[in-house]
Amino acid sequence: MLVIFGASGDLTARKLVPALFNLFLADQLAENFVVLGASRSDMTDTDFRNRTVYESKYLKDKIKDISKERLEQFTSQFYYEDLGGAYDNSYEKLNSRVEALKEKHQTGDNVIYYLSTPPALFETIAQKLAESKMNDQSNGWKRVIVEKPFGYSLETAKNLNAGLQKYFEEQQIYRIDHYLGKETVQNLLVTRFANSIFEPLWNRNYIHHVEITNAESGGVEKRGGYYDSSGALRDMFQNHLMQIVSLIVMEPPISEAPEDIRNEKVKAIKSIRIMKDEETLRDHTIRAQYMPSVVDGKSLKGYRQEEGVAEDSTTETYAAIKFFVDNWRWHDVPFYVRTAKRMPTKVTEVVIHFKTPHHQLFRGERKDHKDNKLIIRIQPDEGILIKFGVKVPGQGFMVERANLDFYYSDLGETKVMQAYERLLLDAMQGDATLYARADEVEAAWEFVDPILEYWKNGKDVRMYGYASGVWGPENADELIEGIGYWRSPGPNLTDDPGFCVIC
């Protein structure tokens, strides 16, 4: 049984129910599987079914293709329980409902509680569940999945962890990070550890620098209220991007067991050098906000004009951070990571820039064509691209970069699961590999906290502006030592730098 707290919220309809629906169509859900929605809204089972399935804009296209009976088979296992206006009321009524549904559908005693609520409610919900003995594992497991944001700072994350751990063991707590559910993010592990051609080069001897871009063409849309008290660093960097970084930085785990992988990821995050002094923080971080502009004939609002955003807001919609990793493998290799809204296109990719050959034999190479690159495209146009030098046919030894590429789409019929499908299924099966552990989340905050503190209270901290639809503020290139510019990826993996779509 899956009990969803915050069931009347957007995430339930937008992500959770569509993921469950896909799992149902793929016969991945047990026949006696039950979903019990719970929240403060006054709704009946029928209202809940209508809202999340029959009238859902997120399922509209999907449900029209399946039979009425099959759809009913899915929705007949959906129920709703009104918590009576507050999450801190007693859960005795909820407990009775759970017991009745267990009986009716013979679900057994394994239950997942999905906390799709603001984090301020996590501890309250955990406490109330415990008071009604709903965390009792004597006849079956109980697991809690919590949504982001997991904390607002190191201190709040620690408090959240401590609050949940009062009532549930760490092994029962699943902190979701939907980037870990992406097939291409998981493939980082396979690319590194299932090949003998990359790993020997995966270190300071061969890698010049690592660049990670996470760009979105959209703005903050209707989430201005939430975003304004969060910003790019909290919203994307502390969680999704630090997870990607950990998979690039980590040492080989001793096995594929969840704890072995998670131990290495934590070690990786802990080895990132924390920036403490103002000078480093000033030189290694850039924050910016998008400004109004006209893109493709359409006027786009600036961040400060968005609904729910303060007129004098200093919340960043662009963050670029340079950092180093203090260990044997990565000593002196700079990492450049940026994340932003209102960029020219939506793309997430990792670029490993290899060092140029120690001895430059061929003079005819273009300056920007001297290094090999491995580009791991996380989205869209998922795949891997290797850029390497080939001889230009004809006289002499002119060298050009050629592309060696692999696209996930070439795998044809393989169905790639969406992040939430994979993660829900993993939690049902008790596999926490793709969930963040308490120490992992705290280690990530430890790195991010001083940057946030500097941006808030530091001397001479700048907030740059960039027109919506460009690759961030002009000075962002200054962050990159040596080559002095970011790759500007297009929507297609093999588009050359410089090419991009203004959408």
Instruction: Using the minimum distance from each CB to ligand BG6, give the nearer residue, 82 or 216.
Output: 216
Instruction: Using the minimum distance from each CB to ligand BG6, give the nearer residue, 107 or 184.
Output: 184
**CA–CA distance, 381 with 490 (Å, rounded to integer):** 10
Closest CA to 185 of 259, 119, 265: 265
List the one residue from 216, 365, 381, 426 that touches ligand BG6 (CB under 6 A).
Answer: 216
**CA–CA distance, 406 with 479 (Å, rounded to integer):** 30
Provide the minimum distance between the beta carbon of 349 and ligand BG6 in the complex, in angstroms, as a whole number.
12
**CA–CA distance, 323 with 305 (Å, rounded to integer):** 32
The three state secondary structure string of 44-86 is: CHHHHHHHHHHCCCCCHHHHCCCCHHHHHHHHCCEEEEECCCC
Under a CB-based contact definition with an 8 Å cutoff, are residues 483 and 368 in contact?
A: yes
Provide the minimum distance between the beta carbon of 501 and ligand BG6 in the complex, in angstroms, as a whole number.
17
Instruction: Using the minimum distance from each CB to ligand BG6, give the nearer residue, 386 or 493.
Output: 493
Instruction: Using the minimum distance from each CB to ligand BG6, give the nearer residue, 185 or 443.
Output: 185
Instruction: Using the minimum distance from each CB to ligand BG6, give the nearer residue, 111 or 347.
Output: 347
Provide the minimum distance between the beta carbon of 378 and ligand BG6 in the complex, in angstroms, as a whole number.
8
Instruction: Using the minimum distance from each CB to ligand BG6, give the nearer residue, 122 or 330.
Output: 122
**CA–CA distance, 337 with 319 (Å, rounded to integer):** 8
Provide the minimum distance between the beta carbon of 350 and ligand BG6 in the complex, in angstroms, as a whole number.
14
Provide the minimum distance between the beta carbon of 3 and ligand BG6 in the complex, in angstroms, as a whole number.
23
Under a CB-based contact definition with an 8 Å cutoff, are residues 150 and 448 in contact?
A: no
Instruction: Using the minimum distance from each CB to ligand BG6, give the nearer residue, 177 or 365.
Output: 177
Q: What are phi and psi of 23, to 5 degrees?
A: -65, -40
Instruction: Using the minimum distance from each CB to ligand BG6, give the nearer residue, 4 or 236.
Output: 236
Report angle CA 215, 218, 220 to the nearest 5 degrees: 105
**Residues binding ligand BG6: what is the number (CB under 6 A)?**
3
Residue 247: half-sphere exposure toward Cβ, Cα within 13 Å: 25
**Which residue has the CB atom at the shortest distance from ligand BG6?**
235
Looking at the DSSP assignment, which residues form a beta bridge with residue 285? 321
Under a CB-based contact definition with an 8 Å cutoff, are residues 94 and 38 in contact?
A: yes
Provide the minimum distance between the beta carbon of 383 and ligand BG6 in the complex, in angstroms, as a whole number.
16
Provide the minimum distance between the beta carbon of 58 and ligand BG6 in the complex, in angstroms, as a whole number.
14
Residue 235 interacts with ligand BG6 (CB under 6 A): yes or no: yes
Q: Would you name the residues annotated as active-site residues?
A: 240
Closest CA to 468 of 319, 307, 288, 245: 288
Provide the minimum distance between the beta carbon of 307 and ligand BG6 in the complex, in angstroms, as a whole number.
15
User: What SS3 state is found at 5?
Assistant: strand
User: What SS3 state is found at 90?
Assistant: coil
Please list, residue by residue across 161-173, b when 16 or more beta carbons sit within 10 angstroms of its beta carbon and e when fewer do: bebbeebbeeebb
DSSP E strands, 298-434: 298-300, 318-323, 335-340, 347-354, 373-379, 383-391, 399-407
The three state secondary structure string of 139-158 is: CCCEEEEECCCCCCCHHHHH
Helical H segments across 169-234, by residue range: 183-193, 224-228, 232
Binding site for ligand BG6 (CB under 6 A): 216, 235-236
